[in-house]
């Protein structure tokens, strides 16, 4: 893999990769090779080495055995594309029964 410039995603990971659920190794891979991985998948740059060809094929086809680079990129994609499900609690107020019992005291 080629090393271009550091890759940061301040929009999705303001505190950095290592503080957002990635291991130190995964964070290092994303920071070091993230721009290259992104460019390879966007088609901005063409794969030059066997490792780059394998990476593109593994991310697109997801075979059983994939490289550490592909695992990191797929985990990154899962995290940025995750849409949390929001649930709302709606209810109506129960109406009180109109047949209220009245108590009377019998003084005999």
Digit-coded pLDDT (tens) for 70-84: 999 999 988 888 767
In the structure, what pLDDT confidence band is assigned to residue 87 with cuts at 50, 70 and 90?
low
The residues spanned by each domain of the chain are 1-83
Per-residue pLDDT at 105: 56
Q: Is 99 helix (H, G, I), strand (E, B) or coil?
A: coil
Task: Name the DSSP letter for residue 62.
Answer: -
Mean pLDDT of the chain: 82
**Pick from 10-14, 38-42, 87-91: least confident:** 87-91
Whether residue 43 contacts residue 59, with contact meaning beta carbons closer than 8 Å, is answered with: no
Whether residue 23 contacts residue 55, with contact meaning beta carbons closer than 8 Å, is answered with: no
Alpha helices in the chain, H assignment, sequence order: 24-42, 50-61, 68-81
Average pLDDT of the segment spanning 45-68: 89
Regarding pTM above 0.75, the answer is no
Distance (Å, whole) CA 92 – CA 99? 20
């Amino acid at each position: 893999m080629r090393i271009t410039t550091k890759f940061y995603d301040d929009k999705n990971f303001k505190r950095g990769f290592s503080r957002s659920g990635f291991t130190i190794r995964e964070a290092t891979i994303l920071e070091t090779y993230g721009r290259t991985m992104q460019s390879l998948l966007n088609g901005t740059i063409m794969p030059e080495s066997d490792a780059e060809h394998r990476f593109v094929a593994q991310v697109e086809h997801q075979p059983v055995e994939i490289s550490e680079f592909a695992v990191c990129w797929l985990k990154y994609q899962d995290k940025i594309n995750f849409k949390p499900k929001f649930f709302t609690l709606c209810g109506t107020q129960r109406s009180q029964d109109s047949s209220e019992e009245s108590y009377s005291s019998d003084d005999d």
